[in-house]
Amino acid sequence: MDEIIEQIRSRIQSNELNPGERLPSERDLAEQLGVSRNTLREALRMLESSGLVTLKKGSTGGAFLNDSNSAALAQGLFDGMGLRQYDAKELIDVRLVLVNYVAEQACLHATDAEIEELAAVVRSSEEAETKYLDFEDRLERHILFHRKLAQIAHNGISEALTGPLLEITRHFHQNAGPTGGLETHGTRRQLVQALRDRDPHAAKQALTKHFDLLHRRIQAGDPG
């Protein structure tokens, strides 16, 4: 079984298969790998559990290579947290290191249009806060801000690492529950302006303030 899984992984790593692409039919793939269809099905189920593929039923179904396995990475970290209780400060410390790099790269590589898209996310998030929208909706907009920032840095590895950390952050917020607070939006506006000015130092200063507030939000129960 492990050998079959490694063969499929090897095809993906060699770019024979691309994200979002449908794998060969079950019959064809079984023949190519020289295994029974039952054995192949079990291997595909294991790959689905690892977050590498999604299995869909029906006439247009099959096995599809996922665009990202951030959810699987996040689940692995959650499982680790079940064995050892990580605290919010550890999460924030790691995220701050990563996001400082992301902000620096965004200053260098983000287009003006992308920075304005991030600014729009900030406005949307602040509007949701001032109107006291549903907690899950507010939280989703906060998560979107950090995802967008990672995207405009144009570094696939840092973007992939950001996803699972954001899912763990979501978990902390959901456990803590909502309270009120608007301070983090000011630091986000400062960050956006630093990106417009292409000033990595100012961007990192804004992020340090933001993550200090975020630590307090997680402890108090407010999304950041």
Please name the residues in contact with 174: beta carbons below 8 A apart, sequence gap of 6 or more. 139
Nearest CA to 212 out of 178, 172, 182, 184 is that of 184
Q: What pTM does this model have?
A: 0.69
Each residue's pLDDT tens digit, 162-173: 988 888 888 777
Which of the residues in the chain have pLDDT under 50?
222-224
Residues 167 and 74 sit within 8 Å (Cβ to Cβ): yes
Each residue's pLDDT tens digit, 93-135: 899 999 999 999 999 999 999 999 999 999 998 888 877 678 8
**Phi, psi angles (nearest 5°) of residue 55:** -100, 125
